[in-house]
Amino acid sequence: MYTELRSPNVHEPKTVGEYSDTVINYKGNINSLWAGGTFIMSRKDFYPSPTTNVEIINLKDIEELYRLQRNDRYAEIGSMVSLNDIAQLGKNIFPKTIISAIEHTACRMLRERISIGGTLCTQGFTSSVASVLVLLDTAVELIIPKRRNYARKWLHASRLYDKNGRLTLNTNYKNALVSKLRIAIQNFDFEYFNTSGDPMLEPEASVSLATVAKLDQNGIANARIIITFPSRGFVYNRDIDNMLGSLQLPADDIRCKEVEKFILAFIRDNIGKITPIQEARLKGMMNDMIMTLNQHILTL
Ligand SMILES: Cc1cc2nc3c(=O)[nH]c(=O)nc-3n(C[C@H](O)[C@H](O)[C@H](O)COP(=O)(O)OP(=O)(O)OC[C@H]3O[C@@H](n4cnc5c(N)ncnc54)[C@H](O)[C@@H]3O)c2cc1C
């Protein structure tokens, strides 16, 4: 039987201005940006398909999106820069958490293709790299297409998502393009990153946890924690940070259990019931994180 298949139109803008023109002129039709292509290509029925992706904008020719710049305080990274290049550039200057999150993402070959912009902006999938960038107060520059022009706007990476870590970029800024990120060069006394399960193949079993903190003789001076569930979003909240910050170190089993209970109740109330395997893995990570904190405080 003959089934009609329509090839997608592929647009290849050379500048962000051309990107903006394309989006404005094809209003309503364009439904896919192509960065590294790794997520799009792995979707069921992506191509060829008569119903999906009839207009694609490939970002590969926009030179501005590959730029890298750094000074003493931060590095600015174009959204088409690959995860591998960021790990290489940042190995000695960025917090270890982001390097670990990148190194735990897929295999090296894929990391060479996966762009940092695609990592932040994948609908329905939250990468642990994206949540670590939120944790590190990364700023993101958006290109917002306008008739005959476009606007640039900087915002905190968390504003790409709702309070439960689900991408809302296109709801708040229609057709906006992430053009660059600003990652601060900063030091923490304590950093922890752990991930379990394959986020692509078994998103309902996978979970990751990242923590950064400043420590002093009295214990934790400033702690931040983010927990990622690939198919649901992330959990990042001041109440959890405060709970961890008020922990007397070294913490015993009873205090560990209290923190665990508080965080699991928060997750249930905000993003809903997680799977038993996610819960078991998360408990293990929280316990390991607090034990590592204990060791750190004892060596201060
Ligand atoms: C085999 C495999 C294993 C993987 N393993 C992991 C893993 O272990 N951990 C993990 O976190 N992820 C994993 N991933 C997912 C990977 O992180 C995503 O595929 C990645 O986020 C997509 O990046 P990309 O550059 O390929 O984006 P694309 O696939 O090209 O695009 C993804 C989405 O982002 C949007 N987008 C891209 N760039 C921009 C931009 N600049 N501005 C606005 N929107 C944009 C696109 O419209 C699209 O909807 C894996 C993927 C595969 C295929």
Closest Cα partner for 222 from 257, 186, 185? 186
Q: Supply the pLDDT for residue 4.
A: 55
Distance 141 CA to ligand 1 centre (A): 18
In the sheet with 149-156, reading across from the earlier edge strand, the strands are 68-70, 74-78, 177-184, 139-146, 149-156
Q: Supply the pLDDT for residue 51.
A: 64
Distance 119 CA to ligand 1 centre (A): 5
Ranges of CATH 3.30.390.50 domains, the chain: 190-298
Rounded to two decimals, what is the model's pTM? 0.94
**34 ligand 1 Cβ < 6 A:** yes
**19 ligand 1 Cβ < 6 A:** no
Radius of gyration from C-alpha coordinates of the chain: 20
CA 117 from chain centre, in angstroms, equals: 9
Q: Supply the pLDDT for residue 1.
A: 46
Distance 121 CA to ligand 1 centre (A): 7
Query: Cα separations (Å) of 139 from 121, 160, 233?
Result: 14, 10, 19
Ranges of CATH 3.30.465.10 domains, the chain: 63-184
Ordered per-residue pLDDT tens for the chain, 300 residues: 445 556 678 899 999 999 999 988 886 656 688 999 898 888 776 665 666 656 789 999 999 999 999 999 999 999 999 999 999 999 999 999 999 999 999 999 999 999 999 999 999 999 999 999 999 999 999 999 988 889 999 999 999 999 999 999 988 898 899 999 999 999 999 999 999 999 999 999 999 999 999 988 778 888 999 999 999 999 999 999 999 998 888 898 999 999 999 999 999 999 999 999 999 999 999 999 999 999 988 887
**CA-230 nearest atom, ligand 1:** 11
What are 14's two structure tokens? 């050379």
Query: Cα separations (Å) of 169 from 122, 245, 272?
Result: 10, 31, 22
**CA-130 nearest atom, ligand 1:** 11
**42 ligand 1 Cβ < 6 A:** yes
Give the three-state DSSP class for 20: helix
**123 ligand 1 Cβ < 6 A:** yes
CA distance 73 to 88: 18
CA distance 242 to 291: 18
Query: Cα separations (Å) of 264 from 13, 109, 180, 259, 269?
Result: 46, 36, 34, 9, 9
The H or E element containing residue 57 is strand 55-58
Closest Cα partner for 191 from 217, 220, 165, 164? 220
* CATH number of this structure's domain 190-298: 3.30.390.50
Question: Is 79:115 a contact under the CB 8 Å cutoff?
Answer: yes
Q: For the domain made up of 63-184, give the CATH fold.
A: 3.30.465
